[in-house]
Chains A and B, each alone.
Chain A
Amino acid sequence: MPEPRHREIVTDGSAAPGRGRRLIDATRVRSMIKAVRDRALPWGLRLVSLVVTGLVAVRDSRPVRALRRGPLQHAARLAAQARRAWRRSLQLRIVSITLVLSALLVGVFGFVVASRITGGLLDAKVRSASRQVDQGVAYAASQLKGVTQSGDPALLSTVPAVVVALGNTAQGGQVQVVMRATDSSLQPLTAQAQSPAWPKAGAYDVVSSPRLVSLREEVARGKVARQWVTADPDGTGEHRYLVFGSPVSSITDGGQLELYYLFPLDNEVATVDLVRTTLFATGVALVGLLAMVAALITRLVVRPVRLAARTAQRLSAGLLDQRMEVHGEDDLARLAASFNQMAANLQRQIVRLEEMSRLQRRFTSDVSHELRTPLTTVRMAADLIFSAREAFDPAVARSAELLQAELDRFEGLLADLLEISRFDAGFAMLDAEPTDLVPVVRRAADGLASVAERAGCLVEVGVPAAPVIAEIDPRRVERILRNLVGNAIEHSEGRPVRVTLSADESAVAVTVRDHGVGLRPGEEKFVFNRFWRADPSRARQTGGSGLGLSISIEDARLHGGWLEAWGAPGRGAQFRLTLPVRAGDRLVSSPLGLVPGDAWLRAIEGPEPAAAPTVAGSIAATPTAADTTAVEPGIPAVTADRRGAP
């Protein structure tokens, strides 16, 4: 049972995958609402349930869904882009973190500074105002002494004089001074031209307005109190004032005379605004400059790191002499020095290994060449002897025949060695020309007809009716096919060998199937190794050198094609050669499958194979009695892919 992906939550079956959790909630809510509605519940709950239903319906309606999809998707895309940029660029990350943190710090400090300055200004104002008020109250009390009988006409003449005197001596801008009575003692004043407020009569209205009702209550209780207020006593617009109120003396009928000062805060407001704008501008500039500085400094660090990344990339691509520049003694210099050391070691190792490999190949090549000359001579001599073998003893004649055969074999081996060394040296050349593969296949098969006859196996060739044209080197391809078929015949154990040719627009493929011993799991990899033999006890019937498949795979690689093997013990083997139709094309697929269709079949023709162990478990096959276990369909044997270098 495949594990469910997290989006496919088990629902009530009505959900499409992807809507997932949200829809569950809605459904549940709906059913709950329905249940609620059906019962006789109070109207309030019913209302709520209807409202919720309505909201859910709105959310699921088409236009809303489209809306959610449109702009939100844009935003999501932008967010994804931003996140990618963030992940890729160290510089961007550092600069943005610096921006954010410095903005935070500057904001906090700016706020602290501004609020302290404001607090200091306001405290100073309050203190000076408090002092003035104290002095004013003392003066007013002394002036009003004895005048506080209610109804005393002297009160109505003293109050304006006091207010004017106080207003004239007040400092700090246009301070408004107001005298007020809690009863109606000063009523006549407000009616006449003389006002208990100076310099602007409007200040009296301000003090009597509802804005200051709580201040008046405090003053009526006998306290000196202050309040910040925004008011307009002189009709020039709303300004901020610091209002101080203090009781002065009591009037005999129970009222109280109170003195109010309105100190204008215009200077303080202007100063605070100036401070605030300056701080803000400075803060913004500071943050910007910090970000720039961070960017510059990051570059100092990021540049060498990028250089190191580039150098490592080039080194891994094969340019082994890439080194980093070492400047100074800091961490980056240490990094560069270590990198250089590592690169030098790598280079040395690789060069040594290459050298060793080259030496080996040179040796093989040299030896092959050196062996050629004496071989030719020996060959000539052997031919001579062979042609005159009738004149010799039967034993000697036999020896002459053996000599000739073995010399032939020796020559073949040497040719193969030479060929392979040519591949190693990189001298192998591809002569590709558009060739019809059908006659090539036939030629290869017919060439081995005698060998097949001797082995007693049938070679079937399946080719399409139409010609199969591809750009190939016919010589090489024929060699490959000859080798494959030869191997198949050798290992077929009498059963038929089938050669199939197929093509599509990009590739041609030839498969050689035999039903012999097959390959054990894992041997498909080794089968193309040089001098590898699956079962050393088997005699080479066709006298192969052990290099056949190695040469074949090199030939295939030269074409840019694939040569792959498949095999299963007791089920035979299949070799597939895939070549591109146009030389130089990259192969992506093959017209024929590597695993034959009858892979699961045991050999149905011919005698039972000697040993047929099952796939599961056993690697070392030991010949035992015939295994009559049922065939298990469907298990693909492990295949090996030998692909050419991309």
Chain B
Amino acid sequence: MNRRRRLVVLLAVAAAALPLVGCGVPTSGPPIVVKDAHRDRGSAASSKPIEKKTPVGVTDPLILVHRYLEAAAWANEAGPDSEAIDKVAEAARGFMTSGAQATWQRGQEITVVRPRFNIPTATANGTRVEVALEPIGVLNSRGTLEPRTGAATVTHQFNVVPAERGLELRISNPPQGMILSDEGLGEFYDIRPIYFWDTGYRNLVPDLRYVGRSASPANELMKLTNWLRDGPSEFLRPAVNPLPAGIETKDLPVIDSNSGVVRINLSAKAASVQSQLARFLTQLKWSLRPRSGTLELLIEGQRTDLGAGLANPAVTPDGQKDPPRFGVVDGRVKHIGGDSVAVPVLNSDDNSGVVSAAVLRGAAQQVALVREAGPGRVRLWLGSYNQAAKTAEYTSTGLTAPLMSRPAGVTTPAANDPAFLVAADGKLFAVSVASKQWTDRTPVGMNGVTAVSVARDGRRVALVVGGRVYVGVLAFDGSSPFVTQLQEVHSGLSDAVGVAWSREGWVVVAGRSAGQTSLVELTIDSALVEQISLRNLQGLAVTRVVADPMVRLDSDPDRGGERGQIMLEANGRAYRVYSTSVDEWPQDPPTGPAPSGAPAKQSPPSAPFFMD
């Protein structure tokens, strides 16, 4: 009895003291994981629905014209359905006076222009806004912006008058046809490249497409899948394969809201091309990003087991933080920064007297060196690493010239015979690694090729010809590449000196504009142009620009996508482009023991480049 009572008393005392102890705001504790950090999946996942702007509440005629030039957005996607196009064109009609509405013909296609506004002038019954409309191209129903070459800039005088009723303004004389400004393109469309396998089924080549931002995710996926089925654009046609005939989608793609899995149902014919489905899956994975978390292909509702598909050879290696950079230091090609990578082929005595160089990535790292060959002449050398003998072997090609651009490596349908493109003496040459033979591949009518750059996919190429930038596609004659489908890229720079691929569908062009050195990044269809404003850029005489685009499955291909690393060569030195400034490449501290006396001084690196 006693013990029980004592126990109860103890319990009571303890319980009475509990509120004083125990609960309270903790003074310390172990870290508690809340969740995994959200990897930047792109802002597209949280995009708000975009709404077109209306003339409501606009009192400034300039703004009215701006808005009018964006009103025709999305009209291309309505397809051949005339009524649907009409509905979308209603937005444009809303800006017109009733008289103008009666006479305005919308046409079948949207013309994308780059407008340049002049100062509006007042007229008797309103305001006149003069706009120089520089045509960029035509946005077709498959989201491709077909460049309009040779079209002249049209200047249009917009008459802005007050509306019949109310305080709003209206345009009384809109130009015929649907016109979309580049601003409108950027605002109302997402850039979504779709991918095709090249003719050798070795590389995935992106095809730049524009998808209207109003679409629901499922709608967007459906459009992309349909465009994939409809085949590549004109520009890429010689270089890539369309989808095999058997692959046809049966229904709309379905996104599982819980798990984020995207399911695409194919018709029964797909069963006949079972072997090609892996490739199709890879194309879809890359085309549908960033929405495609997990992709499932179904044939008539049956799941297929294709695994993760094939790899895109152009993809940035996983875990790469900073692409390996190379430069020429004291006449030797060296790895000067970025992630370290073993390039045993550079360990050679022939790696000397180098002016510029290129390294082609791959199992057998091929190197092309432009070495001094006497006064005022340079020669192209090719080198590779002999695995068996463990030595680097360099061979001289016969190609010499007073001036050579940096070579660019290209993989060819022949796996053991890649090629290097180099611009020498104003001509474009393709040099075969296996045979060391060089072929003149200057495009017809092009004189003064000064720079060449090959895209990561290895099938698109950018050239600087006589201060103008061109983009083309590589086709192969056996294993020797040549350039076709050249189209000019209007960068707005008067004198381009260098071009490089900074993103999958964008090139960065270095040149002069209005007497100032400037760096511009633009899509290869010239639609979207971005000035890269950098401190310290002025005063640099840029001679070369190189870039390494980021190709990642989880990055958003829209204009929010990240620009790749860019390096410049100016004044004989390598420069590194940061987000808002340009800085000289930091010098490495001298490796090896410091000799007694004056410390060894290394000269700064020049001719920087990334691996091709």
Contact = CB atoms under 8 A, between A and B. Distances in A.
Nearest to B323: A252
A326 B516 CA distance: 119
Interface stretch (B6-14, B376-384, B454-462): B6-14
A154 B578 contact: yes
A175 interface: no
Interface string A361-372: 000000000000
A289 to B, nearest CB: 15
Contact of B33 (A108, A224, A247): A224
Among B13, B18, B34, residue most surrounded by chain A Cβ atoms (within 10 Å): B34
A265 B29 CA distance: 14
A118 B24 contact: yes
B80 interface: no
Interface string B100-128: 00000000000000000000000000000
Nearest to B32: A226
A64 B11 CA distance: 32
B581 A154 contact: yes
Interface string B35-58: 111101001000000000000000
21 contacts: A100-B9, A105-B15, A106-B16, A107-B16, A107-B17, A114-B22, A147-B578, A147-B579, A211-B28, A214-B31, A224-B37, A225-B31, A228-B25, A229-B28, A247-B37, A249-B40, A251-B321, A253-B322, A265-B25, A280-B19, A287-B16
B350 interface: no
A458 interface: no
A276 B578 contact: no
B563 interface: yes
A115 B26 contact: no
Given A154-B580, A272-B23, 14 more contacts: A118-B23, A130-B34, A134-B38, A149-B322, A214-B30, A217-B31, A218-B33, A223-B37, A224-B34, A224-B35, A226-B32, A250-B321, A252-B322, A280-B19
B19 A111 contact: yes
B22 A149 contact: no
Nearest to B20: A280
Interface size on B, as a range, is: 35 or more
Per CB-CB distance, the 4 closest pairs between chain A and chain B, nearest first, are A107-B15, A115-B23, A152-B578, A252-B322
Contacts, number: 156
Contacts of B275: none
Nearest to B565: A149
A230 B27 contact: yes
A34 to B, nearest CB: 37
A230 B322 CA distance: 38
B15 to A, nearest CB: 3
B562 interface: yes
Interface in A379-403: none
Given A118-B23, A211-B28, A110 B36 contact: no
Contact of B19 (A110, A212, A229): A110
B572 interface: no
Nearest to A258: B37
Given A225-B34, A252-B321, A280-B20, A104 B15 contact: yes
Nearest to A126: B34
Interface string A277-309: 001100100010000000000000000000000
A213 B6 CA distance: 47
B583 interface: yes
B398 interface: no
B175 interface: no
Contacts of A245: 31
Nearest to B37: A247
Interface in A97-139: 100-101, 103-108, 110-111, 114-115, 118-119, 121-122, 130, 134, 137
A216 B32 CA distance: 11
A154 B579 contact: yes
A110 B18 CA distance: 8
Nearest to A213: B31
A272 B24 contact: yes
A254 B586 contact: no
Nearest to A96: B9
A141 interface: yes
A283 B12 contact: no
A155 B581 CA distance: 11
A474 to B, nearest CB: 63
Contacts of A151: 576, 578, 583, 586
Contact of B25 (A153, A217, A269, A287): A269
A222 interface: yes
Interface string B356-390: 00000000000000000000000000000000000
Contact of B16 (A103, A229, A250, A276): A103
B33 A111 contact: no
A228 B32 CA distance: 9
A227 interface: yes
A153 to B, nearest CB: 6
B22 A115 contact: yes
B585 to A, nearest CB: 10
A139 B11 CA distance: 53
Given A104-B15, A111-B19, A114-B19, A218 B578 contact: no
Contacts of B13: 103
Contact of B581 (A107, A146, A153, A251): A153
Interface in A212-270: 212, 214-215, 217-218, 222-230, 240, 244-247, 249-254, 265, 268-269
Contacts of B30: 214, 227
Most chain A CB neighbours (cut-off 10 Å) among B30, B562, B563, B565: B30
Q: Could you say which of A228, A272, A287 has the most chain B C-beta atoms within 10 Å of its C-beta?
A: A228
A150 interface: yes
B19 A146 contact: no
B156 to A, nearest CB: 36
Most buried by A among B22, B23, B338: B23
Contacts of B580: 147, 152-154
B239 to A, nearest CB: 31
Contacts of A130: 34
B33 A276 contact: no
Contacts of B586: 151
A540 interface: no
Nearest to B580: A154
A149 B579 contact: yes
A53 B14 CA distance: 37
A111 B18 contact: yes
Contact of B20 (A122, A253, A268, A276): A276
A390 to B, nearest CB: 94
A223 B12 contact: no
B557 to A, nearest CB: 15
Nearest to B319: A254
Interface in A200-219: 211-212, 214-215, 217-218
B23 A114 contact: yes
Nearest to A133: B34
A228 B29 contact: yes
A578 to B, nearest CB: 48
A358 interface: no
A461 to B, nearest CB: 65
A533 interface: no
Contacts of A149: 322, 565, 576, 578-579
A145 interface: yes
Contact of B34 (A110, A146, A226): A226
A628 B560 CA distance: 139
A222 B578 contact: no
A92 to B, nearest CB: 13
Contact of A225 (B14, B18, B19, B33): B33
Contacts of A246: 37
Interface in B209-264: none
Contacts of B562: 145-146
A104 B25 contact: no
A226 B31 contact: yes
A107 B27 contact: no
A103 B20 CA distance: 14
Nearest to A279: B19
